[in-house]
Amino acid sequence: MLLRIPGVYPPQDDTWLLAGTLVEHPLTPLTRVLDICTGTGALALRAAQLGASCVTAVDISRRAVLTARLNARIHRHTIRVLQGNLTAPVRDEDFDLVISNPPYVPAQDDRLPDTGMAQAWDAGTDGRALLDRICAQVPDVLAPGGTLLLAQSALSGADKTQVMLEEQGLQVDVIARQDIPFGPVLTARRHMLTARGIITADQRTEEMVVIRGRQHP
């Protein structure tokens, strides 16, 4: 069970799709794990439950940081939870596994909210504001041989993520896919997304993917 302070993203299909891929990743007490955009800390906690002892979680939201700290304590795991912007709080460190389920929903405009629930999903007009920054920043915090597991909607350009990570020298593949029905946010944006040609008029589902990027040893 996960505690959640109001305003923090409740773990959903995207969270669980990424969590499912963690099982296939060997985690030992020495594996250094970084969860970027941790929310409730669900993914950081899952990594700890699967055997990682050196887990760090980052979120920009004060409420999310407090929630993740409480969840770590309730579940009796030691997780270092830091408030900050993506990799900024850990920019001088190296991790063996970086996981992230960031905001990726195409929004009305390119302004990123600095408060409220929308901070958990709004990601600029193309949905890539956070994804592009993660692709650019993560290789710098990945240890040699390290792995990135990144969840996103195909509506926000999974191909572009693959290309950006490959350009950074990572070996990239898609390790999980799932069609999920539009939730309330996408349902409310259906007309806008149709007008932009991002979805078809009769579309009611989006494909979620988990992209894996591996740093050469």
Which residues fall within 8 angstroms of residue 185, CB to CB, at 6 or more apart? 105, 121
Q: Let me know: does 181 contact 157? Beta carbons within 8 Å.
A: no
Does 211 bind ligand SAM (CB under 6 A)? Our answer is no
How do 95-100 and 79-83 pair as beta strands?
unpaired
Q: Cβ closer to ligand SAM: 6 or 217?
A: 6
CB of 37 to ligand SAM, least distance (A): 3
Q: Cβ closer to ligand SAM: 41 or 139?
A: 41
Spatial separation of the C-alpha atoms in residues 216 and 73, rounded to whole Å? 35
Spatial separation of the C-alpha atoms in residues 204 and 27, rounded to whole Å? 36
State the residue for tokens 């579309």: 203
3-state secondary structure of 17: helix
Applying the rule CB under 6 A, the residues between 78 and 117 that interact with ligand SAM are 85-86, 101-103
Q: Cβ closer to ligand SAM: 62 or 171?
A: 62
End-to-end, the C-alpha distance of the chain in Å comes to 37
Does 9 bind ligand SAM (CB under 6 A)? Our answer is yes
CB of 98 to ligand SAM, least distance (A): 12
How many CB atoms are located within 10 Å of the residue 146 CB? 23
CB of 106 to ligand SAM, least distance (A): 14
Applying the rule CB under 6 A, the residues between 17 and 56 that interact with ligand SAM are 37-40, 42-43
Q: Please give the residue ranges that form the binding site for ligand SAM (CB under 6 A).
A: 9, 11, 15, 37-40, 42-43, 58-61, 64, 85-86, 101-103, 119-121, 130
